[in-house]
Structure 1
Amino acid sequence: MDKARLTLQELRKAVDLNGSLVSVHYACESFITAKDHPAGVACVAFHDLQTGETLAFSRSDAPPSKSTEEEKEIHVLERFYAELQAREGAHFLHWNMNRPEYGFTAIAARYEYLIGVTPPVSPPHQRVDVDGLLAASFGSAYAPHGRLESIARLNNMDMRSFRVGKDEADLFARSEWGTLSRSTASKAWIIANSLRMLVDGKIQTASSAGSVEFAGANMDAVTLVLAIGDRMRLVMRSMGVRPHGTPIEFKNEYDDQYLYRALLVQFFDDVRDEEYVPSYAGGNSRIDFLIPRFNIGIELKHTRDGLKDKDIGDQLVIDTARYSTHRSVNHLICLVFDYGGHLRNPRALEEDLRREVSTPEMAVTVKIYDR
């Protein structure tokens, strides 16, 4: 059993037993600005999954006796280490805080730079990088770039206080500690809830939209949608041989849709046909299928003579722009049936489209069935 599965089992047990799981995040000076010193720390936030409480320590809430920015920052760092000490034995959840320039090591370096001694507490022994755990579970492309923002949007989390990294660097330069503190607290909450949804099997990523219960087992919804497409060719062949009556032929997208829907409803209770999306470029369009429980939209395409790689690519780019306006779709799955071998480089087309058209608001998975 791999390390990620062992870690998930351990965390799932901790959640079931209401054990101590605490997420931590912090905001700091831009690495571009901090050329000759460890990046300055503006604020630190913790979210306790056990109690639902969020704590944030910022330069803005330092006592009046701390008059200089250095004194205010030292106050934040001291509270950070006091919190680590008070929660000894907890599982600490974080997002990429395992790098020398950002994370526990960087905070320790900043503490020693300001005070001249090593921190009073070592980094927690039980540390879990939630970003790394998601990547190990679903692949490195589990969410578009800016993965913390993407995972929050894919799962409809509250992002009213969230600020992206560049904006946080600008806030630091303007000493807007309160806004930074609220953004950091928001991110600590998102990290904790991402872990909770992951262990509960409800997390939505660019390759996962939650679990489907079927025949006493749980199956990932996106994996299932793709697997149904993978079996389509075998079902078509079986239906093309009919001892009594006329064999069924599959010649175009409408035939594909007819069969695909019949297979889809075996696993999903609510499958909606040809859902309208708002107009785009002067015309209306419809999603072939919508699975509202998982916020999945499904588009089927059937290649033919004269339809080249670029044509399919252009169509899917337009489809993505259309579907991104649909409130019930945050994961679009495009299934392209190319049994005639019309596409020249299907694997490259899949990867290019996934990378180029996925956004933090909507993940896009493209699967071409050509063999």
Structure 2
Amino acid sequence: MTSVAVRKLSDAQTHSFSIHQVAERQGVAFAEIEQHYDRLERVMLDAFFSFVGSYRNSHFLHWNMRDANYGFAAIEHRYTVLGGAPVVIDDDRKHDLSRLIINIYGKGYISHPRIESLIAKNHIRPLDFMTGAQEAAAFEQRNFYGLHQSTLRKVDIFANFATLVKDRDLRTETGWWEMHGGRLRTLYNLVVESKLLSFIATLIGIGTPLAAVWWLFWPSIQIFLLAAWSTISELL
């Protein structure tokens, strides 16, 4: 493991932990990092888990960090191998941004590879961003600085994605109808949320039995009419 970065969404402050920075502080030349790798990595992860311990009650937004190959468990395992005692974040405080986006926009919201496609679709500058293959090549070349810059850029990009989702401005390949399920349930939800339905329900509550029977007998027509009226009223 060469670098880890955490960005606070509240103030955009980024806290980073990298093996080459530890080497610099300890006076280890870049060319000699490999000779002291485990020791430097342990110091890096010491700092990371100390930071996590200070924020263990916070919520962590991440991208596909769900398993022992690539995720929180992988970092915890590596730290344990190096003799550390990791601070374990509760699962209910981990939120996978990639899955949240799928839940909102549907599985086909963007083409693969999704990160790169979202970057292009939303006109985000990739700058130092590296793909998985590029990062693997950078590690083989011992380009620790480049890997750290890629990590920093990724947390910045993910923060951009999260903000765009929150503001409902994320550009995807999902149409409005598809995103909302394309079902009558969508129309029903529009009706339930409209003030017109509340008004009519009040009238039914104090109206004649005949009016109530008519309402119950023609639910599909009522849903269609109310949805149409809701749409028209928003345009006026």
TM range (shorter): 0.5 to 0.7
Q: Is the 8 A contact 1:59 1:73 kept in 2?
A: yes
Equivalent residue pairs, number: 174
- Number of the residue aligned with 1:70: 38
SS of the aligned residue for 1:98 comes to coil
Q: Is the 8 A contact 2:138 2:144 kept in 1?
A: yes
* TM-score, scaled relative to structure 2: 0.67
- Number of the residue aligned with 2:152: 185
Matches within 5 A, 1:334-349: none
- Among candidates 43, 47, 51, match of residue 11 of structure 2: 51
- Among candidates 61, 64, 72, match of residue 93 of structure 1: 61
- Number of the residue aligned with 2:192: none
**Cα separation, partners in 2 of 1:222 and 1:132, compared to 1, 3 Å:** closer
Per-residue deviation at 1:43?
0.2
Matches within 5 A, 1:119-158: 119=86, 121-124=87-90, 125-158=92-125
- Residues 276-323 of structure 1 show CA distances to partners (whole Å, capped at 9, x for unaligned) of xxxxxxxxxxxxxxxxxxxxxxxxxxxxxxxxxxxxxxxxxxxxxxxx
SS of the aligned residue for 2:82 comes to helix
**Cα separation, partners in 2 of 1:223 and 1:90, compared to 1, 3 Å:** closer
Q: Is the 8 A contact 1:159 1:186 kept in 2?
A: yes
- Residues 149-174 of structure 1 show CA distances to partners (whole Å, capped at 9, x for unaligned) of 22122111121110100000111111
- Number of the residue aligned with 2:173: 206
Per-residue deviation at 1:118?
3.4
Matches within 5 A, 1:235-254: none
Q: What is the alpha-carbon distance in structure 2 between the residues aligned to residue 99 and residue 142 of structure 1? A: 23
Per-residue deviation at 1:222?
8.3
Per-residue deviation at 1:88?
2.6
Q: Is the 8 A contact 2:105 2:179 kept in 1?
A: no
Q: Confirm whether residue 60 of structure 1 aligns to residue 27 of structure 2.
A: no
Q: Read off the aligned partner of 2:89 and give its amino acid letter.
A: P
| CA-atom RMSD in angstroms | 2.4
**Percentage of identical aligned residues:** 28
Q: Is the 8 A contact 1:55 1:185 kept in 2?
A: no
- Number of the residue aligned with 2:216: none
Q: Is the 8 A contact 1:141 1:206 kept in 2?
A: yes
Q: Read off the aligned partner of 2:38 and give its amino acid letter.
A: E
SS of the aligned residue for 1:45 comes to strand
Per-residue deviation at 1:89?
2.2
- Among candidates 77, 80, 96, match of residue 109 of structure 1: 77
Q: Is the 8 A contact 2:59 2:95 kept in 1?
A: yes
SS of the aligned residue for 1:185 comes to helix
Q: What is the alpha-carbon distance in structure 1 between the residues aligned to residue 6 and residue 179 of structure 2? A: 34
SS of the aligned residue for 1:204 comes to coil
Q: What is the alpha-carbon distance in structure 1 between the residues aligned to residue 149 and residue 178 of structure 2? A: 34
Matches within 5 A, 1:1-371: 41-62=1-22, 63-64=25-26, 68-115=36-83, 117-119=84-86, 121-124=87-90, 125-207=92-174, 220=176
More strand by share: 1
SS of the aligned residue for 1:134 comes to helix
Q: Is the 8 A contact 2:106 2:179 kept in 1?
A: no
More helix by share: 2
Q: Return 5+ residue gaps in structure 2 as ranges.
A: 183-233
Q: Is the 8 A contact 2:19 2:44 kept in 1?
A: yes
Q: What is the alpha-carbon distance in structure 2 between the residues aligned to residue 143 and residue 78 of structure 1? A: 38
Q: Is the 8 A contact 1:162 1:183 kept in 2?
A: yes
Q: Read off the aligned partner of 1:53 and give its amino acid letter.
A: Q
SS of the aligned residue for 1:168 comes to helix
Q: What is the alpha-carbon distance in structure 2 between the residues aligned to residue 80 and residue 221 of structure 1? A: 43
